[in-house]
């Protein structure tokens, strides 16, 4: 059973209910609350051995826990407001370990003006585990950006550079909230997702949920300097944990965004939205086209 | 380092910020959102070996994860609206294990009209871990009930019966949402908390946060039939995981509530709020008085 089968199982049994505008399957849930407020909510669990190693610095682990959720909220074109952190601490942990972990979480929260409004601490007989929950809201008068809004004819863009995150960036990345807020202030955004599993996997999610095909051009995909020896394209497609934003906008806007960047970050047109069976086509340097298979990180694969 | 030291450490570094009415230290955080909405949020992490055993039924573990958070929202006098569930599944888990766990979580959610609006699933190299986050709201026109509102002269009441939860009730308890909503509809409530750590510990939290003394009468504390041999009073005070509600109301209302019950559940006057240094006094059957020490469950104790 793969992660996405499990998510489908859950989604089938939990229809969007009263006040749930978008339920399971986007970067965040979108909720309409009493009093006409719209919020987005995301929850992410990080576990030792899966998302970090026991030797990683506690500050970086705490930072990553909050930053991963900040990235999900940014992918909705929203601003994070309140964070909640539940931590299972290994028995016999040193107090300094817990405080360093929390300092890291607070650093991520403060950087983006987010309050740490609540949490839970408990003893863990296994390793360290952290669950971060973030509540955000769209800018006044706007709606959250979904994965499902891409339209034929739009350009496909990505922030920053992809690949090589495991060299350390996966613990230190800057969530693209500033970029996302400038983006939604400047133009209409068709669809958006953050790259957590890897471009190959996440582009397929966006395509599937929008019911469109994406044509991505190999020679336009910006590869990170941190990609080690090997195949840079494969790294950019499949390493995962880039936490960059993939989004669609009208072609005219796209070239203007590429010229100016967003909040000091480069943004690149890497493809286009076309009609056809949902999926992702990779156009090679020689013009050859191939269906891009999901090669990014999957929990429970195999 | 005990759990409550850690919570204090966090609270000192995270002052209530923009829109955070009540931050760390109550059953839920209280948030004022754009659009004049007030919500409460709680997050609870449940871990194998701490909150359940590997042999417990997956349905009961999933049920408990959501029910624990439902109890926190009820303790604010609020109704739960939306649940989020993050699950770390042991590698090589059977699909049926995951679906049974989720069926249990959905059973708790549906029983109280709560939508499962989002979540996260990930692979765990250690045991099963679950983090449940619930968003609730007070009934229209009301404010959440805090731990800090108890006033001298009020009566102290408790729902149900205490002790013996480890015989199995800790996995099957019914969160007191119906009772809490009837309570706040019928009268003004001074302070409220749910009994997760045990009456001796949780009464002290309520007393400390309200700045009052509680006098509890040993012979009025309702003891559960599930308390095994041994000292029933100690079980009622210290077993923990009762998930009953402890609250304060004016004495006249208290006796009317005791006569009628709340939503079919018995409620009992077990003491009174008096002036003095914050703490809890236990009045014995012979009229002897003693300061009640916290004897309930503490994570990281010792």
CA distance B261 to B160: 10
CA distance A167 to A147: 29
Report yes or no: B78 and B72 within 8 Å, Cβ to Cβ. Answer: no
pLDDT at B17 over 80: no
pLDDT at A7 over 60: yes
Q: Mind telling me how many Å the CA of B221 is from chain A's nearest CA?
A: 28
Question: Residue B118: helix, strand or coil by DSSP?
Answer: strand
Q: Mind telling me how many Å the CA of B44 is from chain A's nearest CA?
A: 6
Mean pLDDT over B111-130 rounds to: 89
Residue A298 has a pLDDT of 53
A121 to B13: CB separation less than 8 angstroms, yes or no: no
pLDDT band for position B51 (50/70/90)?
Answer: confident
Report yes or no: B31 and B41 within 8 Å, Cβ to Cβ. Answer: yes
User: Could you tell me the CA-to-CA distances from A154 to A150, B159, B240 in Å, in that order?
Assistant: 7, 59, 57
Mean pLDDT over A196-212 rounds to: 96
Greater pLDDT, A32 or A15: A32
Mean pLDDT over B159-174 rounds to: 92
Q: Mind telling me how many Å the CA of A32 is from chain B's nearest CA?
A: 10
pLDDT at B290 over 90: yes
* Domains (range + CATH), chain B: 3-137 (3.30.1330.10), 155-291 (3.90.650.10)
pLDDT digits (tens, 9 = 90+) for A281-302: 999 999 999 999 877 655 554 3
User: Phi-psi category of B79—alpha, beta or left, where left has phi over 0 and alpha has psi -120 to 50?
Assistant: beta
Q: Which of A240-249, B19-28, B63-72 has the lowest mean pLDDT?
A: B19-28
Quote the ipTM score.
0.90
Beta strands in chain B (DSSP E): 20-22, 29-33, 37-47, 79-90, 115-124, 129-137, 155-159, 192-194, 213-217, 245-249, 267-274, 279-283, 289-291
Q: Which residues of chain A have a CB within 8 Å of the CB of B299?
A: 121-123
Residue B301 has a pLDDT of 44
Question: Which residues lie across from A137 on neighbouring strands?
Answer: A79
A14 to B115: CB separation less than 8 angstroms, yes or no: yes
Of B13, B23, B119, the CB nearest to A117: B23
Q: Which residues of chain A have a CB within 8 Å of the CB of B104?
A: none
A124 to B47: CB separation less than 8 angstroms, yes or no: yes
Q: In what order do the strands lie in the sheet with A289-291?
A: A192-194, A245-249, A155-159, A267-274, A213-217, A279-283, A289-291
- Listed residue (A222, A132, A225, A139) closest to A184, CA to CA: A139
Q: Structure pTM?
A: 0.92
CA distance A125 to A53: 17
CA distance B31 to A43: 17
The DSSP element (H or E) to which A38 belongs, if any, is: strand A37-47
pLDDT at A184 over 80: yes
Q: What does the DSSP assignment read for B11-32? A: HHHS---TTEEE-BTBSSEEEE
Q: How many CB atoms lie within 10 A of CB A201?
A: 23
Mutate to test the interface with B, among A53, A54, A118 (most CBs of B within 10 A): A118
A88 to B47: CB separation less than 8 angstroms, yes or no: yes
The b/e string for A53-85 (b: 16+ C-beta within 10 A; e otherwise) is: eeebebbbbbbbbbbbbbbbbbbbbbbbbbbbb
Of B10, B23, B115, the CB nearest to A20: B115
B14 to A116: CB separation less than 8 angstroms, yes or no: yes
Q: What is the dihedral of CA B22, B246, B259, B179, to 10 degrees?
A: 60
Residue A301 has a pLDDT of 43
pLDDT band for position A112 (50/70/90)?
Answer: very high
- Listed residue (B101, B51, B25) closest to A122, CA to CA: B51
């Amino acid at each position: 059973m793969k992660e996405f089968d499990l998510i489908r199982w859950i989604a089938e049994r939990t229809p969007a209910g009263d006040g749930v505008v978008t339920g399971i399957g986007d970067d965040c849930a979108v909720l309409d609350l009493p009093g006409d407020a719209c919020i987005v909510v995301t929850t992410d669990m990080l576990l030792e051995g899966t998302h970090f190693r026991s030797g990683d610095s506690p500050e970086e682990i705490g930072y990553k826990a909050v930053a991963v959720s900040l990235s999900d909220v940014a992918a909705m074109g929203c601003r994070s407001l309140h964070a909640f952190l539940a931590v299972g601490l290994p028995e016999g942990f040193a107090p300094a370990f817990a405080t360093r972990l929390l300092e890291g979480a607070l650093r991520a929260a403060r950087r983006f003006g987010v309050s740490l409004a609540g949490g839970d601490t408990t003893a863990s007989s296994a390793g360290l585990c952290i669950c971060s929950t973030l509540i955000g809201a769209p800018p006044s008068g706007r709606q959250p950006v979904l994965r499902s809004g891409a339209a034929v004819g739009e350009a496909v863009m990505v922030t920053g550079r992809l690949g090589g995150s495991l060299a350390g960036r996966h613990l230190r990345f800057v969530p693209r909230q500033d970029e996302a807020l400038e983006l939604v202030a400047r133009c209409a955004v068709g669809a958006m997702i953050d790259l957590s599993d890897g471009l190959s996997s996440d582009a397929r999610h966006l395509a599937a949920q929008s019911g469109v095909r994406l044509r991505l051009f190999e020679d336009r995909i910006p590869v990170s300097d941190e990609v080690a020896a090997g195949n840079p394209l494969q790294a950019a497609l499949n390493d995962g944990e880039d936490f960059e934003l993939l989004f669609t906008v009208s072609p005219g806007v796209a070239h203007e965004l590429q010229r100016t960047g967003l909040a000091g970050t480069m943004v690149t047109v890497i493809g286009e939205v076309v009609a056809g069976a949902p999926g992702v086509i990779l156009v090679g340097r020689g013009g050859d086209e191939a269906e891009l298979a999901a090669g990014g990180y999957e929990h429970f694969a195999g």
